[in-house]
Chains A and B, each alone.
Chain A
Amino acid sequence: MRFFNNLSTRSKLLVGFGLVWLLLAVVIRLADVEIQRGINSEKEMNTVHVRTTLELSHLRYLISQQRAIILELCVTKEKPEQDRIIKIIRESDVNSSKMIDTLRTIATDPLIFKMISGIDSLSKEYRKTREVEITMITEGNPEAAVKLGTGLQEDRFAEMNRLVNVLLVDSQRLMHDQIVTDSDVAQAFMNYFLLIGGIGLVFVVLLVYLMNKTIAVPLLTLSEVAGKIAGKSDLNTTIPFADRKDEIGRLGKAFSRMLGNLKGSTTDISDLEAIVKNRTNELTGILKEVKDTVNVLAAASSEILAATTQVASGAVQTAASITETSTTVEEVRQAAQLSSQKATEVSENAYHVAQISQDGQKAVDETVHGMDNIKQQMEVIAQTIIRLSEQSQSIGGIIASVNDVANQSNLLAVNAAIEAAKAGEQGKGFAVVAQEIRSLAEQSKKATAQVRTILFDVQKTTSAAVMAAEQGNKAVEAGVKQSVKAGEAIQVLTESTREASNVATQIVASSKQQLIGMDQIGVAIKTINQAGSENASSMKQVKQSARDLNELGLKLKALVENSKF
């Protein structure tokens, strides 16, 4: 620790950051190694396994194609078509041979190499047998070719397919294995990086602590000591860190030297200072008294100024309020005048209504009287009609007696005729007379019948008239009742309008009084307003005087303050 303290600040920084750089270099190296390894592995994957898989897939397609083509050849009869198919078979053969050779060159695993060789030998045998088949077909024996193709050749084809599939599976398994290995290695490297990162963090924290302790804390302490010397003139303090050999140590030594010089210079001026101090003390005493007096004066004038300002503003406010009040009073006065006018109108209206309702009362009384007259008239009519009915009854009696007379005359005429007949020739003239009497009797009978009919009609009409008269009587009674009711209602109306009229008259009187009172208030407010205005102007003058006094006090104070003592 002591050794580290004695190192210069530059060296301390170099040591700390150098160590951090070293850790970073280790990390870069490790990452480089890992990335290089990853690239190699990726390359191997692409050049060997992926290519093997692709070639195998292609080879499987070719084998299937050849098998399909030979079967097609079996069923083809035309010569040119056969030739074309044979040509395609040859091309396919060349392609598959090439592919098997390529697979051999890129195969790394010995087992895979062996299996590829097996496929090669199988395909060669297959080709030979197929040549035999082609010969058979061209010679015109396709049945034998088909037999050969579906027997031995099919087994071979199946075997080849199986081998290729096994190879494909193997190749994919190898790819998968390599990917797993790669990810494991990458994980291991990640763990290393995390470890190194942790170590680096711990180291940096340690470094920060050390720097704080060895540089920042001593500088702070030294600045505090320097502050003490400057502020309190305390020259008896000791400077720390003066024994260290770095920049802090040098600063401490410089401070120690400065303190020594300060201690030497303070002793010379102290005597002269004592004389000056005595005189100054005397002057200061006098000046202090003057200052106190001026202060009191200034404060008092300030207070006066403030008070007069407040009073002036209060007076102005009062004047404004009085003006507002006077306006309000004027408005209220106008409102009172309006209400007085309205009340007068209401009173007049009420008077009119009272008169009208009295007229209505009279009219209703007349109506009642008229109704009574009508009722009496109706009764007279009814009695007349009843008399008429009775008289028509007596007419009926007369008619009956006339009818009886007619009957008797008729009988008399018949008897006269009989008597005339008995008289023989002498009675013939009398018989004519008797006949005439009889016809007269018949006529009077008919006439009575007609009169009876007419009388019956008259009786019916009179009874209807009696009924009508009765109903009219009832209607008139109802009318009388209604008009009496109307009269009562109008009576009530008259009473209430009379009351309303009285009330309106009272309202008129009181609103007039109110108006007079409002006028008086208006005059009083005007007087107050004038007084307030005068008050405000006199307050302004007082305020001006107070301000002058205050300025005087302030000038005096400034003079005293500016004096050297």
Chain B
Amino acid sequence: MNKEHRELLQERSRNLAREPEASDAGREMMDVVAFSLAGESYAIDSSFVREIYPLKAYTPLPGTPDFVLGIMNIRGQILSVVNLKTFFQLPETGLGELNKVLRLSNENMEFGILADEVIGTQQIAKDTIQPAIPTIIGRGAEYLLGVSRESILVLNVLKILEDKSLVIDTK
């Protein structure tokens, strides 16, 4: 029995010893899409996500605030892309192949937000979401629903979509 086997067996025993999670039955569940921004995990209600698209061939727009990354062409539609890292004043990590764009929409508004990496879809029980930690300062705090049990920051999509500061009026 070598080291690898032993580690495998230990892993299995740990999994078996884990306390089974509380059953989600009867709870109000929320489907979210989890993604990472500047090394931290964020989640967003999947009902507002129309699709996820890789960041390709975007065009920066002059004369716009710095949180607007630019616009891109998705299957013939023009979509503006907002960089939440700049908006929340988080440290920049640079753009690459793995960057994705989450296309958010409701009846009034449609735009994309840039994500460093998409983690995947998850279900989070709504009552496990803790209110936002008061130490979070700046603009980020008002767009947060709270922190899930897995330490994922759950964003308030409606607030982002309804936010007038994101709308650029160049009258």
Q: Which residues of A are in contact with B by a Cβ distance under 8 Å?
A: 407-408, 411, 414-415, 417-418, 421-422, 431, 438
Contact = CB atoms under 8 A, between A and B. Distances in A.
A438 B52 CA distance: 14
A435 B33 CA distance: 13
B118 A411 contact: yes
Chain B facing A: main interface SS: strand
A135 B56 CA distance: 168
B26 to A, nearest CB: 16
A418 B121 contact: yes
Nearest to A411: B52
B34 to A, nearest CB: 10
A421 B121 contact: yes
A418 B43 CA distance: 13
Contacts of A415: 51-52
A536 B49 CA distance: 154
A446 to B, nearest CB: 16
Contact of A422 (B46, B52, B98): B46
Interface of B: 31, 33, 46-47, 49-54, 97-98, 100, 118, 120-121
A418 B120 contact: no
Given A415-B52, A417-B121, A438-B120, 15 more contacts: A407-B54, A407-B98, A411-B52, A411-B53, A411-B54, A411-B118, A414-B33, A414-B120, A414-B121, A418-B50, A421-B31, A421-B46, A421-B121, A422-B46, A431-B121
Contacts of B98: 407
A408 B53 CA distance: 9
B138 to A, nearest CB: 29
Given A417-B120, A417-B121, A438-B120, A411 B100 contact: yes
- Which of A408, A411, A414, A431 has the most CB atoms of chain B within a 10 A radius of its CB? A414
Nearest to A408: B54
Nearest to B50: A418
A445 to B, nearest CB: 12
B121 to A, nearest CB: 4
A293 B118 CA distance: 171
B123 to A, nearest CB: 9
Contacts of B120: 414, 417, 438
Contacts of A418: 33, 46, 49-52, 121
A441 to B, nearest CB: 11
Nearest to A415: B51
Nearest to A410: B118
A407 B56 CA distance: 14
26 contacts: A407-B54, A407-B97, A407-B98, A408-B54, A411-B53, A411-B54, A411-B100, A411-B118, A414-B52, A414-B118, A414-B120, A414-B121, A415-B51, A415-B52, A417-B46, A417-B120, A417-B121, A418-B33, A418-B46, A418-B49, A418-B51, A418-B52, A418-B121, A421-B46, A421-B47, A431-B121
A34 B120 CA distance: 170
A408 B33 CA distance: 17
A431 B122 CA distance: 11
Contacts of A411: 52-54, 100, 118
A431 B51 CA distance: 15
A422 B121 contact: no
9 tightest Cβ-Cβ pairs between the two chains A and B:
A421-B31, A417-B121, A421-B46, A415-B51, A418-B46, A418-B49, A414-B52, A415-B52, A414-B118
Contacts of A422: 46-47
Nearest to B51: A415
Contacts of B31: 421
Contacts of B53: 411
Nearest to A404: B97
Contacts of B97: 407
A431 B46 CA distance: 13
Contacts of A421: 31, 46-47, 121
Contacts of A408: 54
B125 to A, nearest CB: 15
A422 B97 CA distance: 27
A261 B39 CA distance: 189
Contacts of B46: 417-418, 421-422
